[in-house]
Amino acid sequence: MNHNLPVLVLAFPLLAAFAVNLLGKISKKHVAPWTLASLILSAGTSLWVLKDVLQNGKFSYTVGGWMAPYGIELVLDPLSALMLVMVSWVALIATFSALPSIKKEMPGREHLFFSLYLILICGMMGLVITGDAFNLYVLLEITSITTYGLIAMGKGRAPLSSFNYIIMGTIGACFYLLGVGYLYLLTGTLNMADIASRLPALYESPTVATAFCFLIVGVWIKMAFFPLHGWLPNAYTYAPKGASVLVAPLMTKVSVFLMIRIMFSIYSPEYDFLMHLGIKNLVVWAATIAIVGASLIALTQKDFLKMLSYIVVAEVGYMVGGVWLANQEGLTGAIFHILNDSLMTLCFFLVASAIAYRTGSSRIADFRGLFQKMPLTMLALSVGALSVVGVPPTCGFFSKWYLLLGGVEAGQWEFVAALIFSSIVNAVLFYRVFEVAFSHSEEEPSLKFENSRILETSPMMIPPLVVIPVVLLVIGLSAGPLVREVIRLAVPAL
C-alpha cells in the first residue's frame, strides 16, 4: 500500500477548505470546482484504502513518523475503512445538493460556508480513523464547532437552535473529555490500543467504570440518543439546507461508530461492566424507548424536516440497541444500519433540499401536487420511504433483519417489537406525505413556485436524486455478499 493514502483522504478537503476561503473572496466561481474536486479525490482515495484494508488486513499509520503511543496513530481496520468510505461518498453526494441550495440561500457567502463545510468533512473523516482517544476529543470539537457555525448561518430560529446545540454539544464533549481524563490517570496513555492493553488489569477499579460511563454518555449526547436528543430536531430543521444535507446523514452515524470504538476498541467485551447483564438489558430497553418515543413524536410533526429529524432520532435507537445486544447478529445489523441509515437519511434530506429549492417550503401541507411537479424527487422519496419502512429489496430491510435476529437471539423481545412498531409508524408517516403529494394542486395552488421555468429542481440536484435510490436498491440486492465480505469483517470480535 502507498502508506500515505489515509492521510491524503483527509488532506484533500482540508487544503481545499483554505483554497475555497481565499479564492472565494476573489470570485465565487472558485467555490464549486475546488470543493467538488477535493471531495472527488478524497472519495476515490477512500475506496482504494478500503480495498487495501480488505485485502491486507488492519493497518496503522503514524502521522509524521512518530511512533505510537507518543505520536498520532491512524487505525485503518475494516470498520474504520468502511466508515471512511461512507463519510467521503455521502459528503460528495450531499455536496451536489449543497452547492445550489447555498448559492440560493446565502448568495455572496458561499466561500465562508464551504470552508467550514470542508473542515467538518475532514473532521468526521479524522474521527473514524484516529487511534488516539485525545485526538478523538479534538476532532469531536472540530466537527462540533464547524457544525455550530454551519447551523447558525441559517435564517430565523437557526442561531437559537445552534445555541442549544452548543450547550448540549459542549456538555457531551466535557463528559467525553472527563472520561478520557480518568483513563489517562489510570493508564498514563492516550493511545486507544495502548489503553486497551493496560485496562484489563484495572477492570475491578470503580474509576474504570466511571470513565466508561462518562465516555458513553458523552457520545450519546452527540448522537442524540433519546431522551438526550433535544438539540437535534431544531438544529436540523432550521439549519441551511446545504448544512443539514451533510450533517444529518453523517454526524449521528459517526457518533454511533465512536460508541462501538469505545466499547470494543478501548474497552473489550470481556469487561464485566459492559457485558454485565443488568446494564446491557437496560440499555437495550432505553433503545426500545428511544425508538418508540421518537417514532410517536414524529407522528405529531407537521414539518417534513422535523419529521425526518425524529426519524433520525428513532434510527439512532436502532443502532444503539443493536450494538448493546452484544451478539454477532445485532452488531452486524447495527453496523450495516449505520451505512444504510446514512444513505436513507441522505436520500430524505436531498429530497427535502430539492423541494425547498423549488417551493421554498418544508411544510407537509405545502406538498400538494408534488408528484406531478417533481416526479423524480418523489420517486426518490418513495424508494427512501420503502427502505426506512423496511420493505425488501431495499437496504433498510436487511439491516433491520439482522437487528431482529440479534434481538431474538438475545431474548430482547421488547426491542424486536419496537422495530416492527417503528416500521409501521414509518409507513404511516410517509403515507401521509404521499397522500398530500398525490392530491391535485390545480384548484388551490398552495405551492409557491418561485420559478416556474425550473423543470424539477436545480439541475445539479438531479444526479444525486437518481443515484441514491439506485444505491439503496443495489445495496439491498447485494446485501448477501456485502455482509459476508465486508460487514462481518468490520464486526468486532466477541
Query: Least Å distance between CB 393 and other proteins?
Result: 6
Judged by CB under 8 A, how many residues of this single chain contact other proteins?
27
- Which is closer to other proteins, CB of 49 or CB of 472? 472
61 pairs with which residues across the strands? 74
Is residue 478 involved in binding other proteins (CB under 8 A)?
yes
Q: How far apart are CA 448 and CA 280, in angstroms?
A: 50
Which of these ranges, 93-101, 176-184, 448-456, 478-486, lies near other proteins under the rule CB under 8 A?
478-486
Task: Quickly tell me which residue has 411544510 as its cell.
Answer: 363
Query: Least Å distance between CB 427 and other proteins?
Result: 6
Q: How far apart are CA 386 and CA 478, in angstroms?
A: 17
Is 380 within 8 Å of 350 (Cβ atoms)? yes
- Which is closer to other proteins, CB of 269 or CB of 411? 411
Query: Least Å distance between CB 404 and other proteins?
Result: 5
Is residue 336 involved in binding other proteins (CB under 8 A)?
no
Query: Least Å distance between CB 445 and other proteins?
Result: 16
Which of these ranges, 16-24, 73-81, 456-464, 476-484, lies near other proteins under the rule CB under 8 A?
476-484
- Which is closer to other proteins, CB of 109 or CB of 488? 488
Least Cα distance to 146 among 174, 130, 127 occurs for 127
Which of these ranges, 159-167, 172-180, 343-351, 475-483, lies near other proteins under the rule CB under 8 A?
475-483
Is residue 480 involved in binding other proteins (CB under 8 A)?
yes
Dihedral through CA 400, CA 385, CA 226, CA 122, nearest 10? 90
Which of these ranges, 50-58, 107-115, 333-341, 473-481, lies near other proteins under the rule CB under 8 A?
473-481
- Which is closer to other proteins, CB of 60 or CB of 439? 439
Q: How far apart are CA 142 and CA 148, in angstroms?
A: 10
- Which is closer to other proteins, CB of 36 or CB of 408? 408
**Interface mask toward other proteins for 440-459; x: CB under 8 A:** x-------------------
Chosen residue from 420, 466, 470, 494 binding other proteins by CB under 8 A? 420
Least Cα distance to 303 among 371, 251, 355 occurs for 355
Least Cα distance to 313 among 233, 428, 395, 214 occurs for 233
For 114-117, which contacts have Cβ atoms below 8 Å and span 24 or more sequence positions?
Answer: 114/17, 114/20, 114/24, 114/31, 114/35, 115/17, 115/18, 115/20, 115/21, 115/24, 116/17, 116/146, 116/149, 116/150, 117/17, 117/35, 117/146, 117/150, 117/242, 117/243, 117/246
Query: Least Å distance between CB 279 and other proteins?
Result: 26
Cell reading at 22: 481565499
Query: Least Å distance between CB 268 and other proteins?
Result: 28
- Which is closer to other proteins, CB of 7 or CB of 408? 408
Query: Least Å distance between CB 323 and other proteins?
Result: 20
Is 263 within 8 Å of 196 (Cβ atoms)? no
Is residue 34 involved in binding other proteins (CB under 8 A)?
no
- Which is closer to other proteins, CB of 230 or CB of 393? 393
- Which is closer to other proteins, CB of 279 or CB of 391? 391
Query: Least Å distance between CB 485 and other proteins?
Result: 12
Is 319 within 8 Å of 331 (Cβ atoms)? no
Chosen residue from 108, 156, 206, 481 binding other proteins by CB under 8 A? 481
Chosen residue from 23, 296, 376, 427 binding other proteins by CB under 8 A? 427
* Residues 46-105 within binding reach of other proteins (CB under 8 A): none
Is residue 383 involved in binding other proteins (CB under 8 A)?
no
Chosen residue from 439, 446, 454, 467 binding other proteins by CB under 8 A? 439
- Which is closer to other proteins, CB of 163 or CB of 438? 438
Task: Quickly tell me which residue has 464547524 as its cell.
Answer: 146
Chosen residue from 62, 170, 281, 423 binding other proteins by CB under 8 A? 423
Query: Least Å distance between CB 470 and other proteins?
Result: 14
**Interface mask toward other proteins for 387-416; x: CB under 8 A:** --xxxxx----x--x--xx--x--------
Burial level of 40, CB count in 10 A (0-12/13-18/19+)?
middle
Contacts to other proteins by CB under 8 A: 386, 389-393, 398, 401, 404-405, 408, 420, 423-424, 427, 431, 435, 438-440, 476-481, 484
